[in-house]
Amino acid sequence: MSQPTGICPNCGAQIVFRWSSSVQTVCEYCKSILVRTDVDLKKVGQVADLPPDSSPIQLGAEGTYNHKAFTAIGRIIYEYEQGSWNEWHLMMNDGTSGWLSDAQDEYAVSFAAPGRKLPEADQCQVGQDFVWDNQRYTTTTITKAHYRGVQGELPFEYWDKEDVVFVDLRSETGKFATLDYSDEQPVLYLGEMVEFEDLALKNLRAFEGWS
């Protein structure tokens, strides 16, 4: 299957989408943030200098989760009062889209879980329980964060938003959930905490202080 292509309207470089459903990407040459329309690419912003990153994961990193291979094809960097974290957009080998949360040496893989009735952000409290798919989750943290930077391909447009709320939840069995209030309608992501070694990652970034 051929990959969708386009021309960067800012510098004229050829843009190739690795994932056919990608809505947004960043030009590798001029760092323009580009959104796909019906006929071409539209520049909607420019990537600012990204904050220092201590994660070995990078675009193009490959790994395995639940017996499925994946490639990291995009990243959103969120910033909050205690620092920042990465959300890596994963292209699974079955064509689906997932996310790898990478925060202070803790990792979680999750997938969008539409079709659930979700609370409003101001209705959520730490310690509150929710049940999805017969699994009980307890709210552990409620974080206000904002977009800090973006790389690669994303399944939605995201480049210039104010502080938004993220509600993280855990289960007693190691399952993980996030309520994402960055859009008009909240989105639920369900997954689990994972160990770095279990992802069998390769094509990692080498830098001083990490091995």
Where does the pLDDT of residue 3 fall: very low under 50, low under 70, confident under 90, or very high at 90 and above?
confident
Q: Given this model, what pLDDT does residue 50 score?
A: 79
Residue 22 or 90, more confident: 90
Report the alpha-carbon distance of residue 134 to residue 103 in Å, rounded. 27
Whole-angstrom CA distances from 25 to 16, 105, 112, 122, 201 are 9, 26, 20, 32, 23
Say if residues 111 and 96 touch (Cβ distance below 8 Å): yes
CB 19 within 8 A of CB 2: no
Residue bearing tokens 């390769």: 202
Confidence of residue 14 (pLDDT cuts 50, 70, 90): very high
What torsion do the CA atoms of 138, 143, 145, 150 make, to the nearest 10 degrees? -30
Return the higher-pLDDT residue of 1 and 28: 28
8 phi/psi in degrees, rounded to 5: -65, 120
For residue 208, what pLDDT is reported?
60
Q: Which tens digits make up the pLDDT trace of 82-123?
A: 889 999 999 999 989 999 999 888 999 999 999 898 999 999
Distances (CA, A) of 167 to 79, 174, 182, 207: 15, 16, 11, 32
Give 65's strand partners: 68
pLDDT at 2 over 90: no
Structure tokens at 149: 């930077």
Going from N- to C-terminal start, the domains of the chain cover 5-46, 62-199
The per-residue pLDDT for 190 is: 97
Residue 66 has pLDDT above 90, yes or no: yes
User: What predicted TM-score, i.e. pTM, was given to this entire model?
Assistant: 0.89
The string of pLDDT tens digits covering residues 155-186 is 988 777 788 999 999 999 989 999 999 888 99
